[in-house]
Amino acid sequence: MRDPLVKIMGIDLKSVPIISGKEKNVNIIACVKQVPDTEAQIKVKPDGSGIEEGGIKWVMNPYDEFGVEEALRLKEKNGGDVTIVSIGPQRAMETIRTALAMGADKGIHICDPVFDGADAFATASALAAAIKGIPYDIIFCGQRAIDDDSGQVGAILAELLGIPQVTVVTKFEFTGGAVKVIRPIEGAQLLIECPFPCVVSAQKGLNEPRYASLPGIMKAKKKPVDVKDAAALGVTVAANAKVARFVPPPARAAGKIICGDDPAVKAAELARLLREEAKVI
């Protein structure tokens, strides 16, 4: 059975190829965020002001990896360069170097304690200030970050730069004068054409991010990274949204094991527990 697809102006989108051709050099930006590893054991501080960061392994946000990979593929097919832009403390430099080791050309690290705890608007404002000073055609972001899960920075960034955006993208094509993307919706897929410059937020399924090679890691050490603070960017940080308190999820109750040799008795006891205690039947 064919996947259901939206038809625009009577055209069956299944027949539209998503194949990139070599058109022109492209100035590409990929925004990345450093987040706790998905396998890290997260503990909330006793006062609820944040999480205990000691001992946590930090990695590139998985959705941002899709954006970096697509930026690199676009560069390889069309020429140009890829600039990584990230906001975060000193440790975020490791994530920038990871993207450079994957194949990006240079980086911008927005590093200033005033951005600690910045909300989506303040974060996007700093990114926009850094990006305005360099040429760009396409900006890739992850569709959301796995730590705060807000999914707002990419959209706000596009608004601040005054350019269009296409979000939750699972297929991407650069045509030279525009981009064509596929965006899944419930029960269908949308084919959207958008002029550039634009912001594209990447969803899982867009590609399979590459691993950094050993030669890439060695080269990344010599690639330029421009470090900027709030003063250099000319921005003021005024977070309108603040996290009032972090609260860990309630401890999960211990499970029950039904013992016995008679399957019928065990099944009856299971049904009783599901009905009287779990209240699911």
User: 150 and 268 share a domain?
Assistant: no
Peptide linkage before 209 cis (omega within 30 of 0)? no
Predicted pLDDT of residue 249: 81
| Cβ-contact 81, 138 below 8 angstroms | no
* pLDDT, tens digit, 9 for 90 and up, residues 192-246: 999 989 999 999 999 999 999 999 999 999 999 999 999 899 887 776 777 778 8
Residues 193 and 257 in one domain: no
In a domain, residue 205? The reply is yes
Quote the pLDDT of residue 53: 82
199 and 258 in a single domain? The answer is no
Helices then strands, each counted (H, E), the chain: 7, 14
pLDDT tier at 17, thresholds 50, 70, 90 = very low
Q: Are residues 40 and 94 in the same domain?
A: yes
Instruction: Tell me whether residue 242 is in a domain.
Output: no
Do 168 and 265 belong to one domain? no
Pairing mode of beta strands 171-174, 198-202: unpaired
Whether 239 maps to a domain, the answer reads: no
pLDDT band (50, 70, 90) for residue 45: confident
Inform me whether the pLDDT recorded for 7 exceeds 90: no
Same domain, 205 and 155: yes
- pLDDT band, residue 89 (cuts 50/70/90): very high
Write down the mean pLDDT value for the chain: 87
The verdict on residue 36 lying in a domain is yes
244 located within any domain: no
pLDDT of res. 11: 42
Q: So what's the pLDDT on residue 204?
A: 94
Helix axes 153-161, 120-131, angle to 10 degrees: 50
- Residue by residue, DSSP assigns 154-221 as HHHHHHHHT--EEEEESEEEE-SSEEEEEEEETTEEEEEEEESSEEEEE-TTS--PPPPPHHHHHHHT
- Whether the pLDDT of residue 133 is over 90: the answer is no
Residues 279 and 156 reside in one and the same domain: no
Is a pLDDT exceeding 80 seen at residue 19? Answer: no
Mean pLDDT confidence for 74-80: 92
Position 131 scores a pLDDT of 95
* pLDDT over 80 at 23, yes or no: no
Give the pLDDT band (50/70/90) at residue 173.
Answer: very high
Same domain, 222 and 274: no
Assess whether pLDDT exceeds 80 at residue 5.
no
Instruction: State the Cα–Cα distance between residues 173 and 178, nearest whole angstrom.
Output: 9
Residue 238 lies in a domain: no
Query: Is 247 inside any structural domain?
Result: no
Would residue 149 count as lying in a domain? yes
The domain in which residue 280 lies consists of 253-281
In the structure, what pLDDT confidence band is assigned to residue 18 with cuts at 50, 70 and 90?
very low
As a whole-number percent, the residues of the chain with pLDDT over 70 amount to: 91
Which strands, in side-by-side order, build the sheet including 138-142?
165-169, 198-202, 138-142, 26-32, 80-87, 106-110, 225-228
Q: Identify whether residues 263 and 188 lie together within a single domain.
A: no
Domain count, the chain: 2
215 and 263 housed in the same domain: no
Q: Do 223 and 272 sit in the same domain of this protein?
A: no
**Rounded to an integer, what is the distance from CA 96 to the centroid of its chain?**
14
Among 21-25, 46-50, 159-163, top mean pLDDT goes to 159-163
Q: Give the residue-averaged pLDDT of 34-39.
A: 90
pLDDT, residue 114, reads 86
- Identify the band that residue 166 occupies on the pLDDT scale cut at 50, 70 and 90: very high
Segment 148-162 mean pLDDT = 93
* Rounded Cα distance, 272 and 36, in Å: 42
pLDDT of residue 24: 65
Query: At 63, which CATH number?
Result: 3.40.50.620
Whether 148 and 259 share a structural domain: no
Give the helix/strand (H/E) hosting 101: helix 92-102
Give the containing element (helix H, strand E) for 2.
none
